[in-house]
Amino acid sequence: MALRPIKNLKEFSTANERLEGAHLLCPGCAHSMIVRELMNATDDNLVIATNTGCLEVSTAVYPYTSWDTSWIHIGFENAASAISGAEAMYKARKRKGTLKDPDAPVKFVAFGGDGSTYDIGFQWLSGAIERGHDFTYICLDNEVYANTGGQRSSSTPVGASTTTAQAGRVSYGKKEKKKDIVAIMAAHGAPYVAQVAPNKWKIMAKVFQKALETEGPCFINTVSACTTEWKFDPKNTIEVTDLATDTLIFPIYEIVNGTELNILYRPKKVLPVEEYFAAQGRFKHLFKPENRHIIDQIQKDVNERWEYLQRREEARV
């Protein structure tokens, strides 16, 4: 598959915005960085489905919208179903010859938060991938139900304090490990899956373009730091995301056809996970003497996970 050339920095900065400003996302929210880059990564026509969540409620406050493209709002769990229906309708109309411009390239994209992706919309996403629809699903992973009160999701990491997994005298926060959604999607048979972060924007742009150009269902997990629920200063979004990738809490990699794993970013200096935790209020309780063992265990898990990814890359299995 021959990919179109990636736009250079000037082309990105001068491209027509298809996600307009003046939306109501929190200052420092990474969602808009990710969405704008996806929309600027291609000049093709886009059909986008967004389920209820931070992105939707902040970019489409009736009667206004930030979306300068075809856009569908659907319920919490149904972004994958909505985009599947749009893609199926497009193919049917193309076969019948009822499209005004049947040769114009069209890409189908769905955005969902981690709550809708990992949890309440999982079966709809699973079904869409199993059916083989030609679309790209992007999870805006801020590790919490940020739009509805900061409840824990199955993306929330061990040790984080949320409104439904609070840290206190008898608990250190969430006790369950984060679900490995990338591996799950690869196991579904998706031809292309990846995990990326907005601080490494060139890598993210290439991954987005590769997904858009790949025929069939593709899944991208994007780290989206949440200033509100992660509890850091809005100006530090990229700094916190740098810590996420350089501590290997969020490794950046792709899996092609379910088997070929490629690591896309290797930190020159791997930082200890406690530097990432120290930058966020949701983990401050872990630095108490009685909870330090949680940091040590997480560091062990991160090291083992990185070693596993490297073995997968070397073995190509």
Residues 6+ apart with CB under 8 A from 305: 248, 251
Would you say residue 102 has pLDDT above 70?
Answer: yes
Q: Give the Cα separation of 255 and 259 in Å (integer).
A: 6
Distance CA 309, CA 27 (A): 34
Domains assigned to the chain? 9-315 (3.40.50.970)
**pLDDT (tens digit per residue) in 115-171:** 999 999 999 999 999 999 999 999 999 999 999 999 999 999 999 999 999 999 999
Q: What is the CB-side half-sphere exposure of residue 46 using CA atoms within 13 A?
A: 27
pLDDT at 20: 86
Query: What is the rounded CA–CA span in Å between residue 217 and residue 135?
Result: 5
Q: How far is the C-alpha of 220 from the C-alpha of 2, rounded, in Å? A: 20
The whole-chain average pLDDT of the chain stands at: 94
Q: For 234-281, write each residue's pLDDT tens digit.
A: 999 999 999 999 999 999 999 999 999 999 999 999 999 999 999 999
Measured at the CA of 102, the angle between CA 98 and CA 103, to 5 degrees, comes to: 170
Work out the number of other CB atoms within 10 angstroms of the CB of residue 171: 13
Cα separation, 112 vs 233, whole angstroms: 24
The yes-or-no verdict on residue 12 having pLDDT over 90 is no
State how beta strands 218-223 and 253-256 pair: unpaired
Radius of gyration of the chain (CA): 19
Is the per-residue pLDDT at 7 higher than 80?
no
The pLDDT value given to residue 17: 83
Q: What are the Cα distances from residue 92, in Å, to 99, 102, 304?
A: 10, 11, 47
Q: DSSP string spanning the chain?
A: -PPPPPP-HHHHHHSPPSB-S---PPTT-SHHHHHHHHHHS--SEEEEEEESSHHHHHH--TT---B-SEEEEE-TT-HHHHHHHHHHHHHHHHHHT--SSTTS-EEEEEEEEHIIIIIITHHHHHHHHHHT-S-EEEEEE-SSBGGGT-B--TTSPTT--BTTB-BSSS-BS--SPPP-HHHHHHHTT-SEEEEE-TTSHHHHHHHHHHHHHSSS-EEEEEE---HHHHT--GGGHHHHHHHHHHTTSS--EEEETTTEEEE----SSPPPHHHHHHT-GGGGGGGSGGGHHHHHHHHHHHHHHHHHHHHHHHHT-
